[in-house]
Amino acid sequence: MNLANKITLLRVLMIPVFMIVLFSDFNNSTYVAALIFAIASATDGLDGYIARSRGQVTTFGKFIDPLADKLLVSTALISMVQLGKVPAWIVVIIIAREFTITGFRIIAASEGITIAASSLGKIKTITQLIAIISLLIDNFPFRLINFPFDIIMLYSSLFFTVLSGVDYLYKNRHVLTTSKK
């Protein structure tokens, strides 16, 4: 197993640690959980960079990397519903988009079509991560000036989640009309 895949597996292993810390009852547990989430999120860029720069992209890595990302974000969002920080309907839309695009990618792959990530998808991911971290740290430091940065980022991430999903499906609609012969 190469270094990139080990880093990706580390991200998966950080998910239960994140949850345990988030739901623990000690001073600043949500801040520690936010730090764990931020470190886990940063490993996504790191593992991809290492795999590409060393020519070590693997089938396992192609499978586990997006799965790790979706597990991390979904876990954080579902946990924040339980904590009352995020409305459930927002999380349902975000997770539904992820399932839809993942299913679409599976169909494309079965037809031998590879679809690259779009810039809107990257914006979606960045806004989701910023929103989650902002919510976990109770909007610090913006709460000191009564500015709802966390809520703005949450709704921005929802907007980019829907927009990138629609864009992805529209630009690749040919996948649904392609058939193997």
Q: Are 65 and 45 in contact (CB under 8 A)?
A: no
Q: What is the pLDDT of residue 180?
A: 57
For the whole model, what pTM was predicted?
0.88
H or E element at residue 83: none
178 — pLDDT class (breaks 50, 70, 90):
low
The span from the CA of 48 to the CA of 115, in Å, is: 16
The span from the CA of 117 to the CA of 161, in Å, is: 13
Q: pLDDT per residue over 31-56, tens digit each?
A: 999 999 999 999 988 988 898 899 88
> One-letter amino acid identity for 88?
A
Q: pLDDT per residue over 128-161, tens digit each?
A: 999 999 999 999 999 999 999 999 999 999 999 9
- The contacts of residue 75 (CB under 8 Å, 6+ apart) are 15, 18, 19
Q: What is the pLDDT of residue 105?
A: 84
Q: With 80 as the cut, is the pLDDT of residue 127 above it?
A: yes
Token representation of residue 178: 């392609």
Q: What is the pLDDT of residue 181?
A: 52
